[in-house]
Amino acid sequence: MSDLRVRFAPSPTGYLHIGGARTALFNYLLARKEKGTFILRIEDTDVARSTQESVDAILQAMQWLGFSHDEGPFYQSERFDLYRSKVQQLLENGQAYRCYCTQEELNAKREAALKSGGKPKYDGTCRNRTAAPSADAPFVVRFKSPLDGETTFVDRIKGPITFRNEELDDIIIQRTDGTPTYNFVVVVDDAEMGLTLIVRGDDHVNNTPRQIPIYRALGYPVPEFAHVPMILGADKSRLSKRHGATSVMAYRDMGYLPEAMVNYLVRLGWSFGDQEIFSMDELVEKFSLDNVGKAAGVFNPEKLLWLNAHYIKTGDPERLGELLKEYLANIGVDVANGPALPSVVKTLQERSHTMVEMAEGAAFYFRNEVVFDDDAVAKFLTIDKRPLLESVIRSLEECADWTHDGISLAFKQVMEDTGLKLGKIGPSVRVALVGGTTSPGIFEVLEVLGRKVSLQRLENVLTILK
């Protein structure tokens, strides 16, 4: 165990999206590589927007991706007493103050400042107020940010970053209703949980100089920071639903494998020479913040798809078979009385880009009734094909060795008998067996389908020839 302590801290206001998954991945990888500790924390201080469904969805996605945590999940909503005591501490030290300005006043001031070309920051009206306007006046608590000087931190990805303190605002740390806000609780928790390195999205760099003074005011050590670049859509704007699916689990539903998602995500912004394919073990060994790029990256679904096809192609047929069962069930196909799933998988691995595609391509193995494509039937199952099909049936009935090679021999016989090339025979047999013109190789289909079902389907087709 090293002393590295990192965390993933999503707010449960929706599903786990691509960007969140990547920061979770980077944290997870770092923790495993350094034999440190990976903490999961749920940031649900915004009680109105946080939901249990979101928590469940995020947990489920983390599990699917294989990001196991060592501590947590901790819920900020269960730690309000801690935060309140810290707010109290700052209030007593004079490092925070009550602010009685109403939101309307604040908005008006902001707009006025913006209009006159100034900064839309809090003007400090209540910073030096000596008494409350009235005993029961509602208030928020603001943190006294330093007025001058500058705040600098060395980002592990971006290098040194400096802000002039006059740019900082007296941020609200406790709302009118008494609940604490993000920028405050994140400091308290990151410190109380002993985090040594904060790896989070780029969108937080501006928060960092506002958080550092809070660490200091509370007497906490300031951790290291690493801000990972954002993920953009094809139009270079921030990735959002209008760019397509952004939910990690939506990709599972579309037939993606978790290892493909992980591999794609890690290569978006990180590289290891020219290597494209990484197993999780390899990532734990090779990942480093040193080769994480500074620039935002565009999410490229095509490359994800390519990786998915790669992992399907090289995946274990047993495991893929189990997964296939679920995808088949989703399209109403029961596998109970069909061929063994691993053998089905083997015929489709090389031609499937997603598990959904594989399920669609595998359905014909399991359906009792072949679903015929009209165009295919019109073209390849015409009445003149009857002698050919009868020859195929005869030859297959005599086939003693029902394997790919044995079936191949049977077809050689047909070719001799009819004088036709396989190109003239195959398509009709294919349509008879699967109903359409695309499928795995017909010898494989015959082998996996089995002698009985294959001959049944061929004979059945004799009755529908036109």
Partner RNA sequence: GCGCUCAUCGUCUAGCCUGGUCUAGGACACCGCCCUUUCACGGCGGCGACAGGGGUUCGAAUCCCCUUGGGCGUACCA
Place of tokens 């990972």: 228
Selected from 79, 129, 156, 175, the binder of RNA by CB under 7 A is 175
| Contact call for residue 236 and RNA (CB under 7 A) | yes
Nearer to RNA, 213 or 440 (CB): 440
- Footprint of RNA on 22-51 (CB under 7 A): 43, 45-46, 49
- Footprint of RNA on 152-171 (CB under 7 A): 158-159, 161-164, 167, 169
Contacts of 177 (CB under 8 A, 6+ apart): none
User: What's the order of all strands across the beta sheet hosting 140-143?
Assistant: 96-99, 140-143, 172-174
Side-chain half-sphere CA neighbours of 197 within 13 A: 24
Of 241, 294, 379, 424, the catalytic one is 241
- Footprint of RNA on 204-233 (CB under 7 A): 204-207, 229-230, 232
Q: Which residue intervals of 197-334 are DSSP H helices? A: 208-217, 248-253, 258-267, 280-286, 301-314, 317-330
Give min distance, CB of 107 to RNA, in A.
Answer: 8
Give min distance, CB of 201 to RNA, in A.
Answer: 8
Give min distance, CB of 1 to RNA, in A.
Answer: 28
| Contact call for residue 351 and RNA (CB under 7 A) | yes
DSSP state of 76: G
What is the spatial distance between Cα 14 and Cα 22, in angstroms, rounded to a whole number? Answer: 16
| Contact call for residue 279 and RNA (CB under 7 A) | no
Selected from 57, 226, 309, 393, the binder of RNA by CB under 7 A is 309
| Contact call for residue 120 and RNA (CB under 7 A) | yes
- Footprint of RNA on 68-107 (CB under 7 A): 101-103, 106
241 is catalytic: yes
Exposure letters 291-305 (e unless 16+ CB within 10 A, then b): ebeeebbebeeeebb
Selected from 298, 329, 371, 409, the binder of RNA by CB under 7 A is 298
Q: Tell me, by CB under 7 A, how many residues bind RNA.
A: 82
In the chain, count of helices (H) and strands (E)?
A: 19, 12
- Footprint of RNA on 376-415 (CB under 7 A): none
What is the spatial distance between Cα 248 and Cα 259, in angstroms, rounded to a whole number? Answer: 12
Cis bond leading into 73, ω under 30°? Answer: yes
User: What one-letter code names the amino acid at 383?
Assistant: I
Tell me the window of 203-211, 328-336, 367-375, 412-420 that interacts with RNA (CB under 7 A): 203-211
Q: How many other CB atoms are found less than 10 A from the CB of residue 132?
A: 12
| Contact call for residue 203 and RNA (CB under 7 A) | yes
Nearer to RNA, 236 or 466 (CB): 236
Active site residues: 241
